[in-house]
Structure 1
Amino acid sequence: MKKVAFDFERIGTLSDFYKMAQSQLELPSHFGNNLDALWDCITGDIALPIEVKFINMSMNQLETFDRLIQLFEEAAEQLGDDFSFEYYLKAVG
């Protein structure tokens, strides 16, 4: 199973995420840099099985990237054992 981790200490905007996702998830060249396009690629274009983790998220990023997190959770629900998703908060202190 391929494993991909997105480190949110290096991601500040959705644009940053899309740039990283393009290479890490090996999205097709026609990827449209929006949530609908990301959904289409995750559910139809990327190689499965895959495990995706969002790491070092701050509380603010949970709000900022809420729709992105929901998309990955829904993909995990729809794709079952072929797609795993988890996110982790940055350790404080």
Structure 2
Amino acid sequence: MLNVTLDFRYIVDCADFYRQFAAKCLPGAQFGANLDALWDSVTAEMALPARICLRHLPQHADHAQFSAIITTLQQAEQELAGLLQLKID
């Protein structure tokens, strides 16, 4: 199982999230750094099963900027029916 932790103490903005996501989940792959690319990567390209933990998101000074990303990941979790686990703490 792929286990990935993205720590929002070290993520400045959405562009930084996409960089870190690609580096940890899709090493060496091309990544478009947008919501469509995130969906495609999680549902079709990333090694599954997988667990993605988003640490310290609620404490981020501007966590609202990540709402579309979080929604996309939550929808992918539902779509993949158990192959993807998303944890936010």
Partner of 2:80: 79
Q: In the TM superposition, what is the alpha-carbon distance from 1:28 to its structure 2 partner?
A: 5.7
* 1:31 matches 2:31: yes
What amino acid is aligned across from residue 52 of structure 1 in structure 2? I
Whole-Å separation in 2 of the counterparts to 1:30 and 1:11: 20
Whole-Å separation in 2 of the counterparts to 1:28 and 1:39: 18
Partner of 2:12: 12
CA contact (8 A) 1:4 1:24 kept: yes
> What is the aligned-residue RMSD (CA, Å)?
1.5
Count of residue correspondences: 88
What 5-or-longer segments of structure 2 have no aligned partner?
A: none
Whole-Å separation in 2 of the counterparts to 1:75 and 1:11: 21
**TM-score, normalised via structure 1 length:** 0.86
Q: Which runs of 4+ in 1 moved over 3 A?
A: 59-62
**TM-score, normalised via structure 2 length:** 0.89
Whole-Å separation in 1 of the counterparts to 2:73 and 2:53: 10
Q: Aligned residues: percent identity?
A: 28
Partner of 1:63: 64
Whole-Å separation in 2 of the counterparts to 1:28 and 1:44: 16
What 5-or-longer segments of structure 1 have no aligned partner?
A: 89-93
